[in-house]
Amino acid sequence: MPKPRSFLLHLLLIASCIANGATADDAPSQGEWQLLHASIGVSAMHMQLLPGDFVLMFDRTDTGPSNISLAALAPCAATVDAADCTAHSVLLDLRSNVLHPYPLATNPWCSSGALLPNGTLLQTGGFSSGDRVARLFSPATGWVELPSFLAARLWYATDMILPDGRVLILGGRRQFNLEYFPHADAAPALTFFPFLDETTEPDAENNLYPFLHLLPDGTVFVFANDRAVVFDPYNRAPLRRLPPVPGGVPRNYPSSGSSVLLPLRPDAPAHAEVLEMPMARVMGDMVLLPTGDVLIVNGAAAGSAGWELGRDPVTRPVLYRPDAPLGSRFDQSSPLAASAVPRMYHSSAALDTYGRVLVGGSNPHVGYVFANVTYPTELSLEAFLPPYMDPRHDSARPRRSGAGAGAGAGGEVVRVAAVAPAFATHSFGMNQPVVELAVGRVAEMDVGVYEAVVAAPPMPGVAPPGYYKWFVVHAGVPSSSAAWVRMRPLGPGT
């Protein structure tokens, strides 16, 4: 097999005392909340970071008019309901904090998505007018709809990028099957997936938005309800069943826990553990940070997902530190700062290119309701700044001075921690791996300027093709911003 082509990239690190490992003041920090927008006009049920430092946020379209009029832009003909001349999706430019509205024709309520290798968002399914629609989005084109593209009506499904660049689309309400994007044939085909039939419950279901994680060998970990299987996406067959989670308590919608694949490292041993969380939480969002830690944010202490079923908002995030000793991985000696905004059902959270965690949404009502309810519809957008963004750590913080534009799997390229941009909705960040790679050498190029060389991902099962945020982490402190780098598919000419 020919060796995949690679590109040598240069990433210069400017920081004090990188070579001798000096650290910043290690006094505990609680993190900080910042209000980015009091109202973005829509409730951010879905959130996707895009290459070029943009964040797309959108809601369902059948709740009535949003708070962003499109009349001045005159694009109402693009919508199914011309009487609703408002935007239901907005694009935030992270560099300027400016919002741009985009018309959305069909209903993406409780839909799924994945970032394609070329940086375009694939967005699948929804409700009513949108349940068989596949949508493509980029800032340049806006929404492009593919009517009746899907073989099944998809609602509460999960999308996952595969090593060959295709997208696996699995599950959904009463949909015990899977399909792929793009289709292999003109007529879309479904594959029955009996595991989903086995894990559904007659009343609550408890297996919607199944958790999918790509494993390094190219197989897929599928979790639904309280159990999991490993699945071969190429032969479309389950390979083995895994033991159920102790206690028999469901983790998927509407019981709505969350799930991440811990950072992939060259020397990381396999292990299993069950820990008690510091507090009860349902509908929480797990966000992988460039340090390898997991931020858990949003949600409620009682109830479940679904209309007005959650109670007792949990406004204080927690950090899970997988590298800390057992017993201290949820360190509550210095609790993180709490938000003033309850984020209940239909909230979302995602890591941006500056290391912040964007937090938006919350609407447990059928429509937009702002008064005379316990938890009003929330249109604001916040950013949580994790403790590593404390200015006391600036002396250890790397700054990028340059990076290349692309890389191939195999060989050597300049990389540090690669974080994939997740599609966030309903307490799950789809396609959210963090790949940490061994540093081969660090060379001083000038006073305070260093060049780091690290090994590239050895196979596309570790880092599927697509765009990644490259962070440099020094002494537990990530770089002040990430570089967008595209990992290209394997094959001739890539």
Specify if 18 maps to a domain: no
- B/e letters for 306-325, b = 16+ CB within 10 Å, e = fewer, are eeebbeebbebbbbbeeeee
For the purposes of burial, counting CB atoms within 10 Å of the CB of 411, is it exposed (0-12), middle (13-18) or buried (19 or more)? middle
Specify if 269 maps to a domain: no
In whole angstroms, give the CA distance from residue 413 to residue 252: 38
Pair type for strands 483-487 and 406-407: parallel
In whole angstroms, give the CA distance from residue 420 to residue 113: 13
- pLDDT tens per residue across span 73-101: 555 655 555 557 788 999 999 999 999 99
The full length of the chain comes to 494
| Residues β-bridged to residue 423 | 48, 430
Specify if 485 maps to a domain: no
Q: What is the pTM of this model?
A: 0.91
| Residues β-bridged to residue 156 | none
Pair type for strands 12-14 and 449-455: antiparallel
Specify if 84 maps to a domain: yes
Number of domains in the chain: 1
Specify if 454 maps to a domain: no
Specify if 294 maps to a domain: yes
- pLDDT tens per residue across span 4-52: 333 334 445 554 444 334 444 556 899 999 999 999 999 999 999 999 9
Query: What string of pLDDT tens digits covers the 494 residues of the chain?
Result: 334 333 334 445 554 444 334 444 556 899 999 999 999 999 999 999 999 999 999 999 988 778 887 765 555 655 555 557 788 999 999 999 999 999 899 999 999 999 999 999 999 999 999 999 999 999 999 999 999 999 999 999 999 999 999 999 999 999 999 999 999 887 778 999 999 999 999 989 999 999 999 999 999 999 999 999 999 999 998 899 999 998 889 999 999 999 999 999 877 667 778 889 999 999 999 999 999 999 999 999 999 999 999 999 999 999 999 989 988 999 888 899 999 999 999 999 999 999 999 999 999 999 999 999 999 999 999 999 999 999 999 988 888 665 545 555 544 434 578 999 999 999 999 999 999 876 777 777 777 777 777 777 878 999 999 999 989 888 889 999 998 989 876 543 33
In whole angstroms, give the CA distance from residue 293 to residue 196: 30
CATH number of the domain encompassing residue 44: 2.130.10.80
Task: Give the structural domain span for 210.
Answer: 32-264+277-394
